Amino acid sequence: EKPVYNILKCNYDSGFDNMTGQVISGWIVRDHLGEAKYWGSVEVGGAHSPLETESKILIFAIQQIWI
């Protein structure tokens, strides 16, 4: 869903390889009109679980938006 007026919404997701532990992640920030404002992707490095991958990309996306 689109966010309400004057609010930005960040969606993020990660791909986790059970065999290697490698993580590839991405995020996108949209405004109330659904227009993309910021986006990116990153290889986060190793992880031990899908939950850890989601946590890592959330932190990374927040850091990138802060910058």
Which sign does the torsion angle of CA 42, 11, 63, 20 carry?
A: negative
The beta strand positions in the chain, using DSSP E, are 9-16, 22-30, 36-46
pTM score, whole prediction: 0.74
Among the listed residues 14, 7, 6, the one whose alpha carbon sits nearest the alpha carbon of residue 55: 14
pLDDT digits 0-9 by tens, 47-58 = 777 788 888 888
CA distances from 5 to 31, 41, 53, 58 (A): 8, 26, 31, 23
pLDDT digits 0-9 by tens, 1-48 = 788 898 999 998 888 777 777 788 889 999 999 999 989 888 877 777
